[in-house]
Structure 1
Amino acid sequence: MTTDTPRRLVLLRHAKADWPEVPDHERPLADRGRREAPAAGRWLADQGILPDLVLCSTATRTRETWKLLAPELPHRPPTRYEDRVYEASPGELIALVNQVEDEARDVLLIGHNPAVHATADILAGGGDPRARAGLAGGFPPAALAVLTLDGGWSGAEPGSATLTHYWSPREP
């Protein structure tokens, strides 16, 4: 694959987490989250958006989201559990994306708000009006944004992507 091949970045906020008395990093999914994570996977599969690589925060709630989402896809892509995604800033997430090998065409990044929402907003220089309206309305648990980029991953920078899809399990 050349750097001329368009890339697709899917930014997914982990599904709804519970609030037990455990450290934040160890918070598990709530019952609602265990229902929403597979729904996100079904939506990706239905759209034909099948990641070649998954970058997932090491937090319990993101790992559980991925574990429940993955069976909905036709194949399980390689997964990298990244400490850098937990508590990352948008700039740190973009820097992580910049390091992805260009052989990966579609990348799914599973992380946390507010960074995931801000990263989608920062990268999107334009896009589908309905998707932009959805993104402007917030980024609830299990929501995802799909952005396309021309060129290699190292070229991902503010305004360089097009927002093609926004999905939330809360949509009617």
Structure 2
Amino acid sequence: MSLATTRRIVLVRHSKSEWTDTDDHERPLAERGRKDAPVAGRWLAESGVTPELALVSTAARARESWKLINPELSARPRTVYNDSLYEASLGELITLLNETPTDVRELLLLGHNPGMHALADALAGEAEGDLLARMNRTGFPSSAIAVLTFEGSWESVEHGTARLDAFWSPHA
């Protein structure tokens, strides 16, 4: 694969979760989250998002979100549940991107805030219209999606190397 390959990164924050007395990692989705997740999946499908690989946090709310999003996609990607997405720092998320297999052209990460927002903001060296301002104004709410593209290898991903092409949220 050429280094000039256009690649797409799709960042998805898990859907709205319940605040329960359970361990944070095991918190389930709230009713609103169970309604929003399939809507997010339909938005991805209608937007032509077709990831080959989905890396999903092992937290219960992320796994449950993915189980509701995935059936809505036009093609189901290979899914890997990844512990490192839970409470991942910006640096850890960039490292995860840098380690993506070279044959993957479109990657979906389903994780948590503040990581998803920080990653979208850090990667977006440019953006279509007011997308970056709108994303930063909303704070990347639950079920939000950012779609970024960049040219090159996964190893070359760093601050400012991508373009924010889309930002969507079910309640924005």
Asked whether the 8 Å contact 1:52–1:104 carries over to 2, the reply is yes
Question: C-alpha offsets along residues 4-60 of structure 1, whole Å, 9 cap, x if unaligned?
Answer: 210000111100000111000000000000011111110010010111100101000
SS in 1 for 2:130: helix
Matched residue, 1:93? 93
Aligned residue type for 1:150: E
Query: CA contact under 8 A between 1:3 and 1:102: conserved in structure 2?
Result: no
Shift of 1:133: 2.2
Taking structure 1 as the reference length, the TM-score comes to 0.97
2:122 corresponds to which residue? 122
For 1:134 and 1:35, locate their aligned partners in 2 and report how far apart those are by CA, in whole Å: 23
CA contact (8 A) 1:98 1:155 kept: yes
The answer to whether residue 55 in structure 2 is matched with residue 50 in structure 1 is no
Separation in structure 2 between the aligned mates of residue 4 and residue 52 of structure 1, nearest angstrom: 19
Query: Which runs of structure 1 show a deviation greater than 3 angstroms over 4 or more consecutive aligned residues?
Result: none
> Is the CA contact (8 Å cut-off) linking 1:3 and 1:151 kept in structure 2?
yes
1:69-127 CA distance string (max 9 Å, x none): 00101221101111110011011001001000121111110000001101100011011
Cross-structure match for 2:10: 10
Using the alignment, how far apart are the partners of 2:166 and 2:98 within structure 1?
21
* Alignment map for 1:12-31 (pairs within 5 Å): 12-31=12-31
- The answer for the alignment partner of 2:150 in structure 1 is 149
CA distance in 1, matches of 2:85, 2:96: 8
Moved more, 130-139 or 32-41: 130-139
Q: Which runs of 5+ in 2 are unaligned?
A: none
Aligned length: 171
Aligned counterpart, 1:131 = 131
Q: 2:110 maps to what in 1?
A: 110
CA RMSD, 1 decimal = 0.9
The two structures have a TM-score, normalised by structure 2, of 0.97
In structure 2, the residue corresponding to 1:146 is in which secondary structure? strand
Aligned residues: percent identity? 53
Secondary structure of 2:95's counterpart equals helix
Please tell me the residue identity of whatever aligns with 1:32: R
Partner Cα separation in structure 1 for residue 3 and residue 22 of structure 2: 44
Q: Which amino acid aligns with 2:64?
A: E
How far apart, CA to CA, are the structure 2 residues paired with 1:86 and 1:136? 22
